Amino acid sequence: MVERINGKTILTTPISAEDLKGIKIGDIVYLNGSMTTCRDVAHRRLVEEGRELPVDVRNNAIFHAGPIIRPLENDKFEMVSVGPTTSMRMEKFEYEFVKETGVRVIIGKGGMKENTERACKEFGAIHCVFPAGNAVVAATEVEEIVRAEWRDLGMPETLWNCRVKEFVTAVFGAQGRPAARYYLACCAGCGTRFVNLPRGRCSILPKNSRYGFRFGVPLSCASNGLKRMV
């Protein structure tokens, strides 16, 4: 489901291809619902070994990430931090992964290439990014870890199925268009995150009390300087 509330584009799982039709490269989207961390070995198991993913990600989201988890009582867990890992490592698997799983939203770090572009176009998906260096911030957007699968892979590679609330991400690829000219940047001094958009136009993620983002700040942050993230 897609909603636009007070200028915010909110995607709530389950998500259909129709929900994604109005979303463009450079848009900021807020994800609610089911998101599963899924990286190298999980992709390899599904694509190369033909193993069924033990978490249903159809019409939901995956996050190329390696979290730090705190175990609690009664087989419960708490997300301590969850930072994105380089998505390009999953590029060679992504077409088959999207085809087989029906995932709608792929979130990670950095750009991807032709396999992901083709998958987004043919199967109705989008590729988004979350900037590195904000793993603790990302953890605050995880309301609950619902389940953990393939624990034999160790903490970073386990499939952590999470319920998220307004998980903020920027669209890098939509309607089959790649995002080679786009990147996120983060102010090295204050952590303000910037999105570099087409034609040199710059935008800052919307104001939110958890982040303190501001509108109208140019793509430099006083004397702090910018740290390019991807």
Please state, in angstroms and rounded to a whole number, the distance separating the CA atoms of residues 23 and 3: 11
Mean pLDDT of 119-146: 90
Return left, alpha or beta for 7; rule: phi > 0 is left, psi -120 to 50 is alpha, else beta.
left
Give the residue numbers marked as catalytic.
Answer: 43
Mean pLDDT of 119-144: 90
Mean pLDDT of 24-43: 92
Please state, in angstroms and rounded to a whole number, the distance separating the CA atoms of residues 2 and 16: 9
Mean pLDDT of 3-27: 89
Percent residues over pLDDT 70 in the chain: 75
- What is the pLDDT at residue 183? 39
- What is the pLDDT at residue 192? 46
Percent residues over pLDDT 90 in the chain: 57
- What is the pLDDT at residue 132? 77
Asked if 53 and 33 touch (Cβ cutoff 8 Å), the reply is no
Q: For the chain, what is the HEC assignment?
A: CEEEECCEEEEECCCCCHHHCCCCCCCEEEEEEEEEECCHHHHHHHHCCCCCCCCCCCCCEEECEEEEEEECCCCCEEEEEEEECEHHHHHHHHHHHHHHHCCCEEEEECCCCHHHHHHHHHHCCEEEECCCCCHHHHHHCEEEEEEEECHHHCCCCCEEEEEEEEEEEEEEEECCECCCCCEEEEECCCCCEEEECHHHCEEECCCCCCCCCCCCCCCCCCCCCEEECC
Mean pLDDT of 86-99: 95
Count the Cβ atoms, other than its own, within 10 Å of residue 78.
Answer: 13
pLDDT at 174 over 90: no
Q: What is the mean pLDDT of the chain?
A: 79
Structure-token match 């915010």, residue found: 8
Mean pLDDT of 168-194: 50
- What is the pLDDT at residue 137? 86
pLDDT at 8 over 60: yes
- What is the pLDDT at residue 84? 92
pLDDT band, residue 153 (cuts 50/70/90)? very high
- What is the pLDDT at residue 173? 58
pLDDT in tens, 54-88: 999 999 999 999 999 999 999 999 999 999 999 99
- What is the pLDDT at residue 200? 37
